[in-house]
């Protein structure tokens, strides 16, 4: 029996296959659009920020051997956002993937844009996109043709999305039926572009586009480090490029990348420095930015930087519990590319490697001079997940025992030392609740001869945020007064005046309790006229008492100087204290003498 397929049957099957493809495509696109449109405003803002990375990922995936060059043109006045690159030409598979969102991408670590639906999230910028590029039948064929078609994803219903998909495929078929018209294209020029018509977008889209461009400016140096295929990014009047990378002497796994940002208008250039530590065997790298003024190197804040990169940043991981950026092409990421699968064993193993790399970096910092703002390598957000809690503890156990806290221009100390299985503070960190009092309070502490060093003033507040057990506040000062017992016992450094120090202390102390007299009086210790520290509730103001009268009263068995505030001390509440005058002392002398005469 002959089961050969007739031409009509073949055409019928093609129609059925095409219908199934369009139905499947409609389901995927509609489901994804509903998820995007139904997201909270906060989530929408976050996803809109990702538009630039979704497009850059796709551009890098399609890059040639010479590397990817990218152009971003944002024309706010004319409501146009145009993204272009010099990558490989479209094949039919690529175009069908783009139109239907039924991705044929493999789970290849070299193709970081693993989800075909990633592109669809850019429709939060605009649902109306003009696609321009070149088509070739296959990668081995030199012949190509220029094509141009519309992706319209503005539809609110399933039928509207289905119709626009059918229309896009039909238009594509018509384009591809025309003979090839181009044979060669300069690889340094634009080959593919996506133009987003912003006139169809909501009012806040412009803000999100600008945030995406700021993200680009902030994170592009990391992407240059983590993605060897990316060579150059033009964004309006700026061009970003990788300049050079060099290994640190004798440290093969630690290197510095220099990236360049050039202003095309005035030809001025800025450099960004990125230090990285890598484990090539496990394809894991950690990195952070710093700047160098030739005298010192300053680690930059990682606060707004995504902490997880899968060659490209996972927007939304800025508060992940790790102090620096971690990159691995093997991360198991969430489909939204805003986080990782925290229960994945693969991800746990990657972070085990990252923790070891972090330890190497901190060893390097402890042994090398000239590094400042190392607290930026110790700031870890706190989260409740099992993985992030473990990472938080691992990081603390590393930085706490490295000599990374500067207490002079050249000297550094550690936060803790390990003695008999316990952590002992090796650094005291002055801290007071009111920010405006921090500098004068630090100066007070700095004038005391303590048993531990304190951080330099400019870094003190940041180190106080890092480690609460090392903090010393007003209560610690009170303990010092108690231990000193007398003014002469204060551990003030030689070139500072004790009473000047005390007067500044009382001003800060009173201000720190919001000028609350009761709170101040309950704890403050002040020197009497015998230079002894006493509670203020039993102290009086000396209203110019004659010193001879004080001496007479003392010989009679009462030392009034014990209850009189030192004349060298000025406290903020002196007006509320009772005064004692010479007349009061004379009366007391009279009473004692009269009593003695009676006896």
For 334-364, the pLDDT digits (tens) are 877 889 999 999 999 999 999 999 999 999 9
- Evaluate if residue 241 carries a pLDDT over 50: yes
Place of tokens 């696109």: 29
d(CA 567, CA 543): 10
User: CA nearest 112: which of 329, 393, 411, 435?
Assistant: 329
Q: Say how far apart CA 396 and CA 385 lie, in whole Å.
A: 17
Is 80 exceeded by the pLDDT of residue 46?
Answer: no
Q: Looking at the predicted structure, is the pLDDT value of residue 189 above 50?
A: yes
Phi, psi dihedrals of residue 211, rounded to the nearest 5°: -65, -40
Phi, psi of 596 (to 5 degrees): -65, -40
HEC assignment per residue over 364-421? HHHHCCCEECHHHHCCCCCCCCHHHHHHHHHHHHHHCCCCCEECCCCCEECCEEEECC
pLDDT of residue 596: 87
pLDDT digits (tens, 9 = 90+) for 412-425: 999 999 988 899 99
Average pLDDT over residues 552-558: 93
Q: What is the pLDDT of residue 598?
A: 84
Cα–Cα distances in angstroms (integers) from residue 411 to residues 366, 368, 446, 455, 456, in the given order: 10, 11, 15, 10, 10
The pLDDT of residue 113: 41
CA atoms of 79 and 81, how far apart (whole Å) = 7
What is the rounded average pLDDT for all residues in the chain?
A: 90
Token pair recorded at residue 102: 């039924």
CA angle 450/453/455 to nearest 5° reads 130
Confidence category of residue 256, pLDDT binned at 50, 70, 90? very high
pLDDT of residue 114: 39
**Which residues have C-beta within 8 Å of that of residue 234, sequence separation ≥ 6?**
69, 70, 71, 72, 240
DSSP secondary structure string, 459-471? Answer: HHHHHHHH-GGGE
d(CA 376, CA 463): 9
- Average the pLDDT over 43-48 and give the result: 78
Token reading at 299: 């680690």
CA distances from 455 to 293, 449, 466, 512 (A): 21, 14, 12, 21
3-state secondary structure of 238: strand
Residues β-bridged to residue 535? 525
pLDDT attached to residue 440: 96
List Cβ neighbours of 389 (8 Å cut-off, separation of 6 or more).
321, 383
- Of the pLDDT bands very low, low, confident and very high (cuts 50, 70, 90), residue 177 is confident
Examine the pLDDT at 143 and tell me if it is beyond 80: no
- Averaged pLDDT, 576-597: 92
- In DSSP terms, 130 is beta-bridged to 150, 195
296-to-221, 407, 410 alpha-carbon distances in Å:
21, 15, 11
The pLDDT value given to residue 117:
58
**Whether residue 112 has pLDDT greater than 50:** no
Higher pLDDT, 297 or 201: 297
* Average of per-residue pLDDT across 109-125: 65
- Looking at the chain, the whole-number percentage of residues with pLDDT higher than 90 is 66
pLDDT at site 169: 86
Give the 3-state secondary structure percentages of the chain, helix then strand then coil, rounded to 5.
45, 25, 35
- Which tokens sit at 401? 């025992």
pLDDT of residue 139: 62
Q: Give the percent of the chain with pLDDT over 70.
A: 93
- What secondary structure letter does DSSP report for 329? T
Is residue 81 over pLDDT 70?
yes
Summarize pLDDT for 531-545 with one digit per residue, the tens.
999 999 889 999 999
CB distance 381 to 395 below 8 Å: no
**Comparison of pLDDT for 281 and 251, the residue scoring more:** 281
φ and ψ at 149, to 5 degrees?
-150, 165
Tokens encoding 570:
């000025």
Helix 7-38 vs helix 158-176: crossing angle, to nearest 10: 130
pLDDT interval class at 115 (50, 70, 90): very low
Model confidence band, residue 180 (pLDDT cutoffs 50, 70, 90):
low
Q: What is the CA radius of gyration of the chain?
A: 36
List, for residues 472-512, the tens digit of each pLDDT value: 999 999 999 999 999 999 999 887 899 999 999 999 999 99
More reliable by pLDDT, 116 or 430: 430
How confident is the model at residue 325, as a pLDDT? 98
Q: Residue 213: which pLDDT band, with cuts at 50, 70 and 90? A: very high
């Amino acid at each position: 029996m002959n089961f050969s397929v007739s031409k009509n049957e073949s055409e019928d099957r093609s129609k059925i296959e095409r219908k199934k493809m369009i139905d499947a495509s409609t389901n995927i696109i509609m489901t994804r659009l509903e998820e995007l449109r139904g997201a909270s405003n906060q989530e929408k803002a976050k996803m809109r920020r990702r538009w630039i990375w979704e497009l850059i990922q796709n551009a890098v995936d399609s890059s040639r051997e010479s590397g990817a060059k990218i152009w971003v043109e944002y024309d706010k006045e004319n409501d146009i956002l145009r993204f272009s690159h010099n990558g490989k030409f479209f094949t039919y598979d690529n175009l069908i993937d783009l139109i239907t969102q039924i991705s044929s991408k493999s789970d290849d670590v070299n193709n970081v844009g693993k989800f075909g639906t990633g592109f669809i999230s850019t429709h939060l910028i605009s649902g109306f996109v003009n696609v321009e590029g070149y088509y070739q039948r296959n990668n081995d064929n030199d012949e190509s043709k220029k094509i141009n078609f519309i992706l319209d994803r503005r539809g609110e219903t399933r039928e509207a999305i289905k119709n626009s998909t059918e229309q896009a495929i039909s238009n594509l078929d018509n384009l591809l039926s025309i003979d090839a018209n181009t044979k060669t294209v300069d690889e340094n020029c634009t080959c593919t572009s996506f133009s987003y018509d912003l006139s169809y977008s909501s009012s806040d889209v412009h803000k999100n586009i600008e945030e995406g461009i700021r993200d680009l400016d902030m994170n592009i140096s990391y992407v240059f480090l983590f993605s060897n295929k990316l060579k150059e990014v033009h964004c309006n009047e700026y061009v970003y490029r990788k300049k050079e990378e060099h290994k640190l002497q004798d440290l093969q796994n630690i290197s510095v990348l220099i990236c360049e940002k050039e202003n095309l208008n005035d030809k001025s250039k800025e450099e960004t420095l990125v230090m990285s530590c890598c484990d090539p065997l496990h394809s894991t790298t950690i990195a952070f930015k710093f700047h160098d003024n030739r005298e010192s190197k300053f680690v930059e804040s990682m606060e707004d930087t995504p902490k997880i990169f899968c060659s490209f940043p996972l927007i939304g991981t800025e508060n992940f519990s790790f102090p620096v950026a971690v990159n691995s092409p093997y991360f198991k990421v969430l489909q939204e590319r805003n986080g990782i699968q925290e229960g994945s064993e693969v991800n746990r193993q990657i972070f085990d490697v990252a923790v070891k790399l972090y330890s190497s970096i901190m060893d390097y910092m402890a042994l090398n001079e000239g590094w400042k703002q190392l607290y930026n390598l110790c700031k870890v957000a706190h989260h409740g997940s099992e993985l992030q809690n473990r990472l938080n503890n691992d990081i603390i156990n590393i930085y706490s025992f490295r000599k990374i806290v500067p207490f002079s221009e050249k000297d550094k100390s550690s936060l803790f030392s390990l003695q008999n299985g316990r952590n002992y503070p090796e650094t005291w960190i002055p801290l007071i609740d009111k920010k405006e009092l921090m500098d004068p309070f630090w100066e007070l502490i700095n004038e005391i001869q303590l048993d531990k060093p304190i951080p330099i003033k400019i870094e003190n507040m940041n180190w106080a945020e890092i480690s609460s057990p090392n903090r010393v506040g007003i209560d610690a000062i009170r303990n010092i007064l108690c231990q000193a017992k007398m003014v002469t016992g204060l551990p003030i450094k030689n070139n500072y005046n004790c009473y000047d120090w005390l007067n500044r202390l009382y001003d800060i102390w009173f201000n720190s309790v919001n000028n609350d007299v009761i709170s101040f009086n309950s704890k403050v210790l002040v020197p009497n006229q015998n230079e002894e520290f006493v509670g203020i509730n039993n102290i009086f103001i000396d209203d110019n008492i004659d010193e001879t009268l004080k001496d007479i009263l003392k010989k009679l068995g009462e030392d009034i100087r014990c209850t009189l505030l030192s004349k060298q001390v000025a406290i903020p509440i002196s007006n509320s204290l009772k005064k004692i005058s010479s007349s009061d002392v004379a009366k007391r002398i009279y009473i004692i003498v009269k009593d003695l005469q009676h006896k």
